[in-house]
C-alpha cells in the first residue's frame, strides 16, 4: 500500500466521534465511540452515517434514508440525469426549478475544474498527491471528483444521504478515482484537528444552522497554512436568488423573506441564510482565517441557463468584473462569491 492509498487508509482510520471526538471502532455492522459509547448504525447504501443533527426543514431523517435507499436501487439502471430527475420528483420540487437544478448538476464538472485552478492559484501551489482534501456539502461531488483527478486524497461529505448516493453515481460514471463518501453535519466534522490541507464547500455556508460553528469546524480540521474555499451567492445580489429564482429576496429583512418565498414559490426559505461580503470576511477572521473574496466569472457553460434580461445582466457582470475600479461595487451587489481563507501558521 503506497501513496494515495496509504493516505486514504489514514483518513478512514482517523474518523472521530462527532459528538465527543473519541475514536470509533467496529460494533457489528456499525460503529461505536470508545469515549461516549455512542453507536452509529450500519451503513445505508454503503455509506456510513455519522450525523449528530439533520437540519433539513423539508424532509425528516427517516425520509432522507428512505429516498437514499430508493435512489440506490435505481442507480444500476439509471444514469446521473435519470437519478437527478427522479430525486426532484421524490422531493416534490417544482418542475421548472427541477429542470434547472438538474441542468446545473450535469454541467458541474465543467465548473469544477476552474474552481480547482482558482484554489491552486490562491494557495500558490498545485493540488497533488501530498494533499488530503475534504469537501463539505458535496452534493453530487463534482468538485471532489476534480480534486481527485489532480491526485489528492479526497473525502466528500454531506448531511444528506440521498445526495451522497447521487455523488456515488457521478463518481462511478466519471471514473474519478477513489473518493471516500461520508454522511455528517457540517458543524460537527468527524475528523481530528489539522487533518486536511484544503477544505472546500460550495453553496453550503448559506444553508448550515450555525455559520460560525461551521467555519470553526472547517478551521479546526485544516492544517496550519491550509486553505478553506467557499462558494456562495451574495445576499445583496441584483440578480435572481438562485435557490428560488425570485427577485429581491436578499434585499428583504430576513423575517419577510420566508413569507415572500412561501407565497410565490409555495416552499420554505427557512433553510437559506445568504451572507454579504462583509459578513463573510468577519466570519472567517473570527475563526483565525485570512479572507480573500473574489467575484468570479460566470462560465460560458453556464450561460445557457440564462435568458432575457437575466442573461443581459450576466453578460454585463462578466464584462464589468474585469475593471479593477468596479470590484468594490461587485462585492456589494454581484451575484456570487469565491471566498478563500488561509489558516494562520
Torsion angle of C-alpha atoms 303, 304, 309, 313, degrees rounded to 10: 0
Of 173, 133, 169, 168, residue with least CA distance to 150: 133
What's the Rg (C-alpha) of the chain?
Answer: 20
3-state helix, strand, coil in the chain (%, to 5): 45, 20, 35
Cα angle 70, 107, 146 (rounded to 5 degrees) comes to 90
- For the chain, the structural domain boundaries read 3-12+48-234+252-300+337-343
Cell representation of residue 62: 427517516
Q: What are φ and ψ of residue 334, in 5° steps?
A: -65, 165
Mean pLDDT for the stretch of residues 9-16: 63
Judged on CB neighbours under 10 Å (0-12, 13-18, 19+), 57 is: exposed
Query: CATH for 3-12+48-234+252-300+337-343?
Result: 3.40.50.150
Q: What is the mean pLDDT of the chain?
A: 92
Residue where the block lists cell 460514471: 173
**HSE toward the beta carbon, residue 2, CA cutoff 13 A:** 0
Q: Which of 54-63, 81-90, 179-188 has the lowest mean pLDDT?
A: 54-63
Predicted pLDDT at 9: 47
H or E element, residue 207: none
Cell representation of residue 223: 492544517
Cell representation of residue 317: 457582470
Contact 31, 10 (CB under 8 A): no
Length of the chain: 345
Q: How confident is the model at residue 236 (pLDDT cuts 50, 70, 90)?
A: very high
- The Cα 69–Cα 71 span in angstroms is 5
Predicted pLDDT at 11: 55
Q: What are φ and ψ of residue 16, in 5° steps?
A: -125, 160
pTM of the model: 0.92
Looking at the predicted structure, is the pLDDT value of residue 161 above 70?
Answer: yes
273-306: pLDDT as tens digits: 999 999 999 999 999 999 999 999 998 878 888 8
Could you give the 3-state DSSP secondary structure of residue 179? Answer: strand
Of 144, 220, 138, 226, residue with least CA distance to 177: 144
Q: Which of 53-62, 146-155, 193-202, 313-322 has the lowest mean pLDDT?
A: 53-62
Amino acid at each position: 500500500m503506497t501513496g494515495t492509498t496509504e493516505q486514504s487508509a489514514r483518513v478512514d482510520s482517523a474518523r472521530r466521534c462527532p459528538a465527543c471526538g473519541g475514536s470509533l471502532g467496529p460494533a457489528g455492522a456499525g460503529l461505536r465511540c470508545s469515549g461516549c459509547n455512542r453507536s452509529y448504525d450500519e451503513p445505508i447504501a454503503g455509506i456510513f452515517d455519522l450525523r449528530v443533527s439533520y437540519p433539513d426543514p423539508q424532509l425528516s431523517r427517516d425520509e432522507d434514508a428512505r429516498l437514499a435507499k430508493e435512489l440506490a436501487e435505481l442507480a444500476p439502471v439509471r444514469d446521473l440525469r435519470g437519478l437527478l430527475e427522479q430525486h426532484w420528483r421524490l422531493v416534490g420540487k417544482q418542475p421548472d426549478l427541477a429542470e434547472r437544478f438538474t441542468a446545473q448538476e450535469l454541467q458541474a464538472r465543467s465548473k469544477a475544474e476552474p474552481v480547482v485552478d482558482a484554489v491552486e492559484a490562491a494557495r500558490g501551489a498545485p493540488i497533488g498527491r501530498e494533499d488530503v482534501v475534504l469537501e463539505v456539502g458535496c452534493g453530487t461531488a463534482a468538485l471532489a471528483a476534480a480534486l481527485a483527478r489532480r491526485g489528492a486524497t479526497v473525502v466528500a461529505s454531506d448531511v444528506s444521504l440521498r445526495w451522497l448516493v447521487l455523488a456515488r453515481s457521478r463518481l462511478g460514471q466519471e471514473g474519478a478515482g477513489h473518493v471516500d463518501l461520508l454522511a455528517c453535519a457540517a458543524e460537527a466534522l468527524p475528523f481530528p484537528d489539522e487533518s486536511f490541507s484544503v477544505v472546500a464547500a460550495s453553496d453550503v455556508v448559506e444553508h448550515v444552522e450555525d455559520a460560525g460553528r461551521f467555519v470553526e469546524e472547517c478551521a479546526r480540521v485544516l492544517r496550519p497554512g491550509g486553505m478553506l474555499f467557499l462558494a456562495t451567492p451574495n445576499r445583496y445580489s441584483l440578480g435572481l436568488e438562485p435557490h428560488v429564482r425570485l427577485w429581491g429576496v436578499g434585499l428583504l429583512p430576513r423575517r419577510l423573506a420566508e413569507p415572500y418565498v412561501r407565497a410565490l414559490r409555495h416552499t420554505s426559505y427557512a433553510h437559506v441564510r445568504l451572507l454579504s461580503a462583509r459578513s463573510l470576511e468577519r466570519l472567517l477572521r473570527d475563526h483565525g482565517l485570512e479572507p480573500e473574496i473574489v467575484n468570479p466569472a460566470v462560465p460560458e457553460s453556464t450561460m445557457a441557463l440564462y435568458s432575457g434580461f437575466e442573461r443581459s445582466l450576466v453578460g454585463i457582470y462578466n464584462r464589468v468584473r474585469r475593471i479593477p475600479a468596479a470590484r468594490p461595487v461587485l462585492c456589494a451587489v454581484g451575484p456570487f462569491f469565491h471566498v478563500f481563507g488561509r489558516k494562520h501558521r
